[in-house]
Amino acid sequence: MELIFVRHGRPEQIQNSDGTPADPPLAEIGRDQALAVASWLSEESIDHIYTSPMRRARETCQPIEKALGLTASVRDDISEFDRDSSSYVPMEVLKEINRKAWERMASGAMSSSPETLSSWYTTTVTQVEAIVRVHSGQRVVVVCHGGVINAYLARCLDFDIQGFMKFDVDYTSVTRVLASEAGHRSVKSINETAHFRNQPHLMVR
């Protein structure tokens, strides 16, 4: 089967002073990015869609659902590592305003506790593997997050969990993995952005 990972579109920057989870919606450019990837995926034969419950993923998924005529299944365990954070700063903004924090994030150091990171990683990969098991021979879209995509690529490529954030995946980029019933995992592509070919203003780095 073929897993088609779609990272969410560009979210708004949010900081909640009351400590509640930020869970930001898409920014205007993020909504345009979602429409672009939805139009591109409409040219493919897709059997099912899964999405993270986080707002930026759900809002990215909505035009994909409409374009494909499918209703996505929401899976809690493909949420991002920052799910409960009271702030969300897009990585490209964080890189400019707090280089050290960006370097920690980019290296995979999302938590001061290795046990917490390991638990999130294991749960995430297990959930993706569960999706693989029930969709043998099919093509499935998974709308999620940069950390989730990197975690599964790390599983496929046998990377060290402590430094698994090896790939930049752009907003609404597509990453494909072929998964066999026998357990073989083959990375077909990473960070496809052909849907921006006539809309370069949608590329955010």
Residue 170's pLDDT is 95
**How far is Cα of residue 204 from the mean position of the Cα atoms in its chain?**
15
CATH number at residue 104: 3.40.50.1240
E strand or H helix that includes residue 157: helix 146-157
Number of domains in the chain: 1
Q: Bridge-partner residues for 140, per DSSP?
A: 3, 48
Q: How many helices (H) and strands (E) does the chain have?
A: 6, 8
Six-digit token string for 143: 């709308």
Tell me how far apart the alpha carbons of residues 106 and 147 are, in angstroms, rounded to a whole number: 10
Contact 105, 12 (CB under 8 A): no
Q: Residue 9, by phi and psi: left (phi above 0), alpha (psi -120 to 50) or beta?
A: beta
Q: pLDDT of the chain along its 205 residues, tens only? A: 999 999 999 999 888 878 788 899 999 999 999 999 999 999 999 999 999 999 999 999 999 999 999 999 999 999 998 888 877 776 666 556 666 665 666 555 555 567 788 899 999 999 999 999 999 999 999 999 999 999 999 999 998 877 788 898 999 999 999 999 889 999 999 999 999 998 888 887 5
Residue type, 127: Q
Per-residue model confidence (pLDDT) at position 86: 77
User: Are 193 and 37 in contact, with CB atoms under 8 Å apart?
Assistant: no
First CA to last CA distance, the chain: 31
Does residue 204 contact residue 92 with C-beta atoms inside 8 Å? yes
Residue owning tokens 């990215």: 60
DSSP-assigned letter for residue 197: T
Does the pTM exceed 0.85?
A: yes
Domain residues for 84? 2-202
Supply the DSSP string of 120-144, one letter for each residue: HHHHHHHHHHHHHHT-TT-EEEEEE
If 0-12 CB within 10 Å is exposed, 13-18 middle and 19+ buried, where does residue 19 land? exposed
